[in-house]
Structure 1
């Protein structure tokens, strides 16, 4: 049993001042000491720094403690005092610039952590020693920021793949006959959308595959209709190696075009519905698109394209519109088409908010390993009902659609996202898996409680969000309201997935991006492309078997040891969880200090008056750069710019205080829900009144 007083002594061959600085930095504790999920500065009291520690795990329970930091007069030690619990830790540092001796005394530690009551003093001592060892690693630059899930062990990886495939029901031993049919179809069409629908049709032909606002198609119907559509495409001049554009919202016709093109060996460029006409023209010319499939509402975006480019309607239209529809092509009743050597690929546009968007060729899934990877972190099951309001032209929506075929899931596709309508669809179809982007999670929470309570969402087992960071406050509010069913997926078009935070991770550390799925390696590298120490911020690199096949017409991202640079900066903690600080082009240098917008956004998101917030870097004559905050308030809330600055000043560094605070009615967002920060400060930005801007240099 842990006693009321525990003494721990450790010695290291490192500079005492470096150790002192790290131990007085609040961010150090959650990064290097397992069991501490967060450490947030609060407003100082009587000249003492106040910290709020988040301690514990989802399984053992979470506690939050307010701790006072009291520094000794001769600055050779300090105390972390928790008066509410009657507990404290005394820390003394002895030594010089070559050696450091750390003496720590814990008093009543069992009052701070729920797991300590059943442990021994030796466990507490080892936990302390290991954390201090990581401080030494930080000072010396140890190469420890690498975490691997089965990627370096083929035998273990294959065993885990088999386990996931069997346990999820993707392959069922007692239906060998249907399983053989599945494998034959996959062998015929490949591990892609075409093969997925063909295999599902062999196993569950009558099960609903796609449900939209107009029709419901079974797996057998999807397989037969896409065969006919592929034959019609061929009869109308398309052939393997060609590329077409698809400009559509989520619906069954969009899926059928992707599947049929894949069967014919035709590549499909998935055009973002938020692109302007000029960008679409650039993509059409760059990718040499032979035909376009376009929803009626987007006809105006393509009306000036060259008439030699064949144009078809991807959605259901009224007679007499002048466009041949997907249904028209299928009803031509063509039956044969040449089988391609390689199936067609899907091209996802990575951006487009400034300049021509890059086209990234998505790889085909690599057998059952692709399915097993996501199932190793997200417990989706066979025969699920999956709601996908996330756009299918976005990597996350597309990945979910691909996964749905392996699970023989019924996919419900709303054309556009509406928070209340999503709840209605969940209740109506007894949805088990909801594929979302963060703004959707936020919008559902913004609904009044009495509206949320109208709908029975008890069927939900998984809400998987991807595409942008989830604010910690949003994470905790959602799980408090809907249960521990939230999964935060971090990835990109280039690397597919990198990490997944499950509900246990998010309860412990709400800002984490989680851990790598099966067959994935994640590393945090420095400028020399070598791993940094655990807890140090650097460039995030990822390796798995679903790395993209390159851009259509752009240089590839940086690589190191088989891993691709995600373009994000972050760090790994002592448990192997990844955290994202922000894009490498979002970090600013203000007065010589590296400053990230995300911690400021996280802090402001906790204010009850704040609905949404975005923080960006802007030029500053004195400091080089400074932060500017754009805030959307809840209606009727009393929040002004001075309150915003004061709140941040007492929680983060003075360089993190946004000197410009602008209140907006809404933030500019793309079709996938991402905040378009460039539009807040770029040439196309609106000119709303800037409230509370202060002169540069004012703290």
Structure 2
């Protein structure tokens, strides 16, 4: 098994002049340039005393320098611990202390978190600047440190919705398998060009997008911070063959691209969507407007972001996230761990080479979610006869109103059909009579005037009475995480007070 950084050595020799990365300012990095900087950084890390298996905290946005640091850490045989650029010093200190990092690499425009963390941990701090001139002075780059498939490559800390965040250990084998699966499913080749505004510290942007593109020898255009206008500008400038994002991005692009037609996006083959369920209305509208298919997928940090996908050339079923990727197995099970027949809702389990090694220094937590090689995802879903998976929500987000199960995703799918709704999130709110009440937080398009009573009347024509949101909060914007995914845990019962 090769170190994931080996791909850069291969491409630098075979196609040195091919563009590997482009930033939002239009600066291009060839595979030769990327290789040389990665090799030099790896040498600098070795000379500074970083040893194979050491953990290095990396805090940087979606810029080419992230890739240099990430693969440089791997080439040195060390483990990259990637963290959200919006993390506070307190959060970074927890991650760094828990992982036992030997060094901190931080984007020089992020202040003061990474530097303060290094000081508190009493480890060196290396600021990352544009081009990384101060970090690539290593004298003997050599080749990447040899690694095994089960050697940890990266530790990604979960969001910590319950308890303290846990570090999911993803191996070089996990990363390689994820890239191979996605390349096969979406027919990604060295001739492709990808556009992404996803953060690279997150598993989706890091493993499913960046590492897949690099393993294929393709090109990747990076937008450090998503705006629909910025994404459209890069669509026209770089003419990608595919792009990757989350549903909120596709919805925002649809509104921003008014007046443009498929002929304006020649060559765009498909858009890969993940992070949350994609409403069917958005899928159809995007395909009509941009002239490309939206291929939805599903995975978790603990499965290297991979699990299922709408595969190129296979019929897509709106409301599903596709079938198991090649090499993965998806089963739906009840609370007693018995596999359920097609059509029945239960907890989704994933097995295959993308399933994590385990949580860093958390054997009990690892044992709770890993059983016989299967990961218990905590998500609820059902499979159809063709193997396509439908997600109905998180097990902990299931709303039980008066004894009836209400799956938030099903209600959200209907709400997104309303012409004035741009964002929607359905949650359960404690209720003395029903146990839980169905609540919906809604963001509407500019200029729209939608009331809760109007939305309830509209929803009653399309949903069973017990599924209709009886508590509705209309807000300017819903809270989102770093990938643009709506954060339901930030939608508290207080938002709906006085809105019955």
Do these two structures clear the TM 0.5 threshold for a shared fold by scoring above it? yes
How is 1:530-679 mapped onto 2 (pairs within 5 angstroms)? 530-554=338-362, 555-556=365-366, 557-679=368-490
Mapping of residues 316-331 of structure 1, within 5 Å: 316=130, 326-331=132-137
TM-score (norm 1): 0.66
Paired position in structure 2 for 1:391: 199
Asked if the contact 2:79/2:154 (under 8 Å) is kept, the reply is yes
Distance 1:313 1:370 in 2: 30
Q: Determine the structure 2 residue equivalent to 1:442.
A: 251
The CA deviation string for residues 490-523 of structure 1, in whole angstroms up to 9 with x for no partner, is 111112322112477675x311111112112111
Shift of 1:274: 2.9
Q: Which residue number corresponds to residue 228 of structure 2?
A: 419
Matches for 1:147-546 after TM superposition, within 5 Å: 190-192=2-4, 194-213=5-24, 215-305=27-117, 307=119, 308-316=122-130, 326-331=132-137, 333=139, 335=141, 339=145, 345-352=153-160, 355-365=163-173, 370-399=178-207, 400-450=209-259, 452=260, 456-496=264-304, 497-502=306-311, 509-546=317-354
CA deviation vs aligned residue, 1:147-186 (integer Å, no higher than 9, x gap): xxxxxxxxxxxxxxxxxxxxxxxxxxxxxxxxxxxxxxxx
- Aligned pair in 2 of structure 1 residues 680, 455: CA closer, same or farther (>3 Å)? farther
1:462 CA drift (Å): 2.1
Unaligned runs of 5+ residues in structure 2 are none
State the alpha-carbon separation in 2 of the partners of residues 363 and 637 from structure 1: 48
Q: Tell me the secondary structure at the aligned position of residue 350 of structure 2.
A: strand
Q: 1:598 to 1:337 in 2, by over 3 A?
A: closer
The structural deviation recorded for 1:648 is 2.4
What is aligned with 1:153? none
CA distance in 2: counterparts of 1:454 and 1:534, whole angstroms? 37
Q: Which moved more, 1:570-579 or 1:660-669?
A: 570-579
Aligned residues: 490
Paired with 1:566 and 1:198, the residues of 2 have a C-alpha distance of: 36
SS at the partner of 2:172? Answer: coil
Residues 454 and 573 of structure 1: is their aligned pair in 2 closer, same or farther, counting only changes over 3 Å? closer
- After superposition, give the CA deviation of every residue in 1:327-351 in whole Å (9 maximum; x if it has no partner): 2121354556994655761112221
Match of 1:23 in 2: none
1:53-68 alignment runs, 5 A limit: none
Shift of 1:535: 0.7
- 1:486–1:503 Cα contact (<8 Å) kept: no
Whole-angstrom CA distance in 1 between matches of 2:215 and 2:118: 39
Superposed CA RMSD in Å reads 2.4
Deviation at 1:609, TM superposition (A): 1.3
- SS of the residue corresponding to residue 292 of structure 1 reads strand
Matched residue SS, 1:328 = coil
Give the number of the structure whose alpha-carbon radius of gyration is greater.
1
Would you say the 8 A contact 1:615–1:628 is kept in 2? yes
Q: CA 1:534 to 1:338, structure 2 compared with 1: closer, same or farther past 3 Å?
A: closer
Distance 1:504 1:583, change over 3 A: farther
